[in-house]
Chains A and B, each alone.
Chain A
Amino acid sequence: MYQFNYKKVETIEEAVNELSANPDSKILAGGMTLIPTMKQRLASPEQLIDIRNIKELNFIKEESNNIIIGSTTNHFTVASSDLIKNKLSSLSRLAEGIGDPHVRNMGTIGGAISNNDPTADYPAACLGLGATIKTNKREISADDFFISLFETALAEDEIVVSISFPIISDSYYMKFPNPASRYAMAGVFMSKNPSEVRVAVTGASENGVFRWTEMESSLLNDWSKSSVEEVKLSPEGIMSDIHGNSEYRANLANIMAIRAFECINE
């Protein structure tokens, strides 16, 4: 790992000031992606701004039919929250399936979405539920937040404060985890409310998480298993690597969609 400066901050304002003053800084929360990346020398920030001590970023609450989660809340806390289990179990289940227990004790929801790893789970929940991401500057809809591989709408001096998920009980996340890393090789988050069906796919596309609009319209038109089965994801633009080629991954996405649909209907 290359040398860097380390700064622990106690408030959002302090973190933003540090970010603005040092453009080569990186925000450190759980560090479950950032530290391994720095160990491999794939990232070499001049300064780390540790935000784990900012108390106002660590919370879970319910407000006007939304579950709002502060950005430094770790995966274990989300997975074990009774409020989320009762109101939005699809999200508890997703959090419970990230990495392993030790990783879940450190990794945070804000880090997971700010990094926008193409195989991460939370971006699928954000798109699949139509979440809103609140930063120190503004509110961004999930549809506008995830731009491309490891790229989001966040400006250089912008930090995620919280994520607001609409409570949609007819929702489910199904992923096929890589047997070694538990990252999604294909993960489908599906939700249905009277006016809208959302289907988000992670782990598959070369451009990161995306909304599977063809599947959404097919299901909005007719909420049935045959509607899911007749839509096939095109292998074009789907990742191909040692773990699986694009045809395999596209097929996995088809299967995950069918299973998610079946679980919602159970």
Chain B
Amino acid sequence: MSLVELEINGKKISQDVEERQLLVHFIRDDLNLTGTHVGCDTSQCGACVIHVDGKAVKSCSMLAVQANDTKITTIEGLADGESLHPVQEAFRENHGLQCGFCTPGMIMAAVDIINRNSILDEKTVREELEGNLCRCTGYQNIVKSILAASEKM
């Protein structure tokens, strides 16, 4: 076991983990933050995207021990109490989801895309969504949601 100390959604955590435990399982099973999803488990689908020290990463491809001494944000950390984050709000308004399984990863990726690009167009959004798969929507409304959110942020 190794001791992991990190901050997640503003809360400090100090816990022993098995070296082979994936970060996504630590977040879901140990911390009970089940908003982060496991989709493909092979680094393709992006349902597990979270922010580690402000960078979007796939938590199914990272060990919990690697996250020692970092600051993590998951989908649960975006909203401010009852007020949704602008990206969450835009997904709601624009019907940016159907089954919702990919949505946490889509939103975490979207926040990162908007943070990195001061001006966004449809082409850029589609390219940037390379690492996130949605099997329901055909991406149409996801792209629309991200573009709408980018104007409000």
Contact = CB atoms under 8 A, between A and B. Distances in A.
A102 B63 CA distance: 15
A101 interface: yes
Given A101-B109, A102-B56, A105-B57, A3 B62 contact: no
A148 B109 CA distance: 36
A4 interface: yes
B20 interface: yes
B41 interface: yes
Interface residues of B, number: 28
A106 B19 contact: no
A181 interface: yes
Interface residues of A, number: 28
Nearest to B52: A105
A167 B22 CA distance: 40
A36 B61 contact: yes
Contacts, number: 73
B20 A102 contact: no
A106 B63 contact: no
A4 B19 contact: yes
Interface in A1-34: 1-6, 8, 28, 31-32
10 contacts: A1-B22, A8-B65, A31-B61, A32-B43, A99-B130, A100-B130, A100-B132, A101-B130, A102-B57, A106-B62
Interface of B: 2, 18-20, 22, 41-44, 46, 49, 55-58, 61-63, 65-66, 68, 109, 112-113, 128, 130-132
Interface of A: 1-6, 8, 28, 31-32, 35-36, 38-39, 48, 50, 52, 76, 99-103, 105-106, 180-182
